[in-house]
Amino acid sequence: MQSPFLLAIQEFMLVKRYAKRTIQTYLYWIADYIRHQNYQHPKKMGDHEVQQYLTYLSIKRKLSASSQTSALNALAFLYNKYLGQPLSDELEFVNSGKARKLPVVLTIAEVQKLLSHIPEPQWLPVSLLYGSGLRLMECVRLRVKDIDFDYKCIRIWFGKGAKHRVVTLSDTLVNPLKLQLQCEKVALQLKRDLQNPEF
């Protein structure tokens, strides 16, 4: 069972509408930090203990730079946002030496080749993920009313961090989407959705 302190932090983050994954990650690092400091209350600690902990993650546990950064972000949130005891802007600790990997970006030809191997039932959703930059759950929750063919855009409601945004709709997806909307199966599903008071 979580401590009342961690539960209070979780409640604070939920009220502030932090993403579920962010809450889980921050709670993990805060709990690990407290354990490492022999269960001292964070209010009684500060820059020195945070620097010691981050150095320990690098030297003893040999964690990656991204994991160390994640821990730093969690502790910065704890002190700056939750406890109101801001950490120094110039913390001194040993950075994890593992080099960051550069993201792999596909060329246009590679993306076209990839999409050509996607089975037809999944082709349109996968194309939306790539062409409009939708996240998986954003694509799953997409509704007809969110697609604006005139302005060639898609409105995303309550995306990551409960934020709304507008993304572009690729010209190449306009006709496939219109054909999809004329499909008898889709029309039936839309009718069912409209009869559901939750929609």
pLDDT of 160 strictly over 80: no
pLDDT band at 163 (very low <50, low <70, confident <90, very high): confident
Q: Find where tokens 């995306």 sit.
A: 159
pLDDT of 3 strictly over 50: yes
CATH code, residues 108-195? 1.10.443.10
Query: Cβ(96)–Cβ(57) under 8 Å?
Result: yes
Q: How many CB atoms lie within 10 A of CB 133?
A: 13
pLDDT of 186 strictly over 80: no
Chain-centre distance for alpha carbon 2 = 24
pLDDT of 197 strictly over 80: no
Mean pLDDT computed over 125-154: 89
- Topology at the third CATH level for domain 4-83: DNA polymerase; domain 1 (1.10.150)
Query: Cβ(178)–Cβ(186) under 8 Å?
Result: no
The per-residue pLDDT for range 27-44, each reduced to its tens digit, is 999 999 999 999 999 999
Mean pLDDT computed over 92-97: 80
Q: Domain-by-domain residue ranges, the chain?
A: 4-83, 108-195
Give the single-character DSSP code of 148. Answer: E
Q: What is the pLDDT of residue 192?
A: 80
Rounded Cα distance between 111 and 109, Å, is 5
Q: What is the pTM of this model?
A: 0.52
Sequence-ordered alpha helix ranges (H) in 4-64: 4-15, 20-36, 47-59
